[in-house]
Structure formats: C-alpha cells, structure tokens
Amino acid sequence: MSVRIASNKPVVLLILKICILLSVYIIYKILIVNSEATMSLLNPLFNSYMELVRSITNFLLGKIGSAAQITEHNMVADNLRVIAIGHQFMIKKWLYLLISAVILTPSTPRLRTIFSFILALVYTVSVSLLMAIYAHLISHFTHTQAKDMASAFSIICLVAWLYFWIRLNRKYIAQRLPGMNAGTIYRKLNEIILAIFLFVIIRYLIVGYFDFLYWITFLFTASQKILAWFGYESFVEPFYLIGNNGAIYASKSCLGISTMYLFAALVFLTGNRKKTTWMAIGSGLLILTAVNILRFVLLFIHIQKYGDYMASVYVHNTYNFITYVIVFILWIIWFEKYSDLNPCLRIADSPSTRRI
C-alpha cells in the first residue's frame, strides 16, 4: 500500500510571494517614503502625475457643470480655497491591495501585463473622480462626509477592475485548489467581490453619512444600567456618557462597525449551511456588541477612579486590542467547529491527490 499526497507547492509559492510583497513594502516605506533624497528625485514624477490628475478632474468638473476647480496646489469651490491637494486623495492602500492581487493571483504573463496597464488607467481615473466629487460636494457636506462619499464612488471603480481580473483568472485559481469543486470556487470568488463591494458601501457611504446617534445611545444606556449595579452614577447625553469625575465620548468610529462586518463577511464566505452560518453571524455580532458595552463600562470606571486622560487613552487602546483578539478567537472557533469549507483547507482526499 502506498500513499501519495498532493504537493503543497502552490501554498509554499503563495506564502513566498506574500513574504516578498511584505519585504518590498517595508523597503518602500523605509528607503523611499522616509528618505528625503529619494523623495526629492521622485517628486518631479509625482508632480507630473498630479498634473495629469488635475487635468482629468477639471474636465470632469466641467462636464457636470460644477463651479469647483482644481488649481496647481489647491482645490477651489465657490471662489474659496478649500484644501491643499496631495497624498490624502491617492487611496494608496487600495492600490497596494490591487497590485498584490495582480501578483498573487494565478494568471498568464499576457493577462498580467494587460490588466496592470488597465489598473494604471482605472486608478488614475478613480483618483480624479474622487477629487471631482469631493470638490463638488464640499460646499454641501462636511469634509469627512464629502471625502467618504467621493471615496466610495472611486473605490467602486477599483472593485469593478478587481471583479473582471478575478473572473478572467478563476480557472487558473481553480487549478491551484484541486481539492475544491470548480463551481464552489467560482461562487465563492463572486461572493468575495460582493463582500468587498458591500464593505465599500457600508464603510464609506453608510458610516460616512450617518452619525449612528441612536445606536450610541443604546450602547451608553446599556452601559449606564450595568454601571448602576456597581454603584456608579452616570448620565447619557448625545455621544457622551457623563459621570462625576469625567465622561467618555463615542463617535461612530468607536462602534466597531467595520470590525463587525469583517467578522460577519468571513463567516459568510466560509460557510455553506445557511442556518449554521446565520446563527454564527448573529451570535458573533451579539458577543461583539456585549464586548463593546463592557469596553465602555470598564473605560468609564477607569475614568471615574483615576481621571487620567492619557492613561484612559492607553486603556482604550488596550480594550480595542482585546476586542480584536476576541474576534480572532471567534474566527478560530468557527473554522475549527462549524465552517463547511474546513475540509477544503486540508489536503483533499480524492483520486487526484491520494493513491492507495
């Protein structure tokens, strides 16, 4: 009797590519971004690129009949200087993500070359679109709202590029995952793109526009009741939980909406049994909500006892880290106990990968 196990070469190559990407990114941050000599050499190239972006942006603003205009260094709306133009509009993290997708996705040299060129075009148009929408909206919304809404539309363009890139290479991806059914792989790839699209909508449009005051009030009211059990008097005001020795303020960024979505998305993407999947998502979100309430309670107690703002910031960051650890633990429990894709993460027990 002899057993032949499928080679782990694709996994090793993937890990190697990821390590190389991380090394290149670290070198880029240390030797290029933080090097004045290197940046002085690259600045003319960046300025030339920004001139192209400004030209496209002004063209788009003219097409929609906006009074806003992009000058050499500033954004002007209603004859008022709004904000300096620079790296804050470059959505570089998304560019890094898509470059990584080009490198890590199994493909042909021809497709990589063509789609790298298309990515450069789409990215340039996306940055121009972001600046144009922002310049048009800044007169009607706050800086954060205008920036988030503009970012949503530009990032959706990048996600569309990612969709076509994955779709054209899905057969190559399936060849690297022989233990999974091709139909399942295609469906999961579509679900991943949909999850990214929904993340953009939630993060940049919904979270960017609404203040979530009712949800914050609910969390603070629940915290207030728990604090009363421990003998702490508190009052709930819009965005504040007030005590005798200080108060805590919560904005929508404190709600962990993105963290909750990422948890739910990963569970959804790695599960096939609908009942189990939705029960896991619901239970996980309830646990994370309870953790968030407990975080407010402990932070409030710390402020009432010590009243040290800097120490409170440290405690706040510590509780955030604990929340991320809990999310990671929930993911581990899901993968080990309930995920329907768990067997697919191991070496497949099929005639193509095992011979007895």
* pLDDT tens for each residue of 286-320: 999 999 999 899 889 888 888 766 656 666 677 77
Domain assignment of residue 81, yes or no: yes
Residue 122: Cβ within 10 Å count: 19
Nearest to 90 by CA among 59, 57, 63, 62: 57
Q: Are residues 203 and 141 in the same domain?
A: yes
On whether both 124 and 88 belong to a single domain, the answer is yes
Q: Would 42 be classed as within a structural domain? A: no
- For the chain, give the longest Cα–Cα distance: 82
pTM of the model: 0.77
Based on the fold, state whether residues 163 and 220 are members of the same structural domain: no
Tell me, yes or no, whether 2 lies in a domain: no
Asked if residue 201 and residue 86 are part of one domain, the reply reads yes
| Domain assignment of residue 32, yes or no | no
- Asked if residue 207 lies in contact with residue 148, where contact means CB atoms within 8 angstroms, the answer is yes
Mean per-residue pLDDT, 88-114: 88
For residue 65, the Cα-to-chain-centroid distance in whole angstroms is 33
Domain range spanning residue 315?
213-345
Give the residue-averaged pLDDT of 153-176: 91
Q: Which pLDDT score is estimated for 219? A: 93
Mean pLDDT confidence for 247-264: 87
Do residue 177 and residue 306 come from a single domain?
Answer: no
Is 18 part of a structural domain of the chain? no
Of 343, 222, 214, 341, the residue nearest 280 (C-alpha): 341
Answer whether residue 352 is part of any domain.
no
| Residue recorded with tokens 């690259």 | 42
The residue-averaged pLDDT of 329-349 equals 67
> Do 203 and 286 belong together in one domain?
no
- Check whether 332 has a pLDDT greater than 80: yes
Q: Which of 153, 180, 208 lies at the terminal end of a domain, its last residue?
A: 208
Q: Structurally, how many domains does the chain consist of?
A: 2
Residues 203 and 254 in one domain: no
Is 4 inside any structural domain? no
141/222 same-domain check: no
Asked if residue 21 is part of any domain, the answer here is no
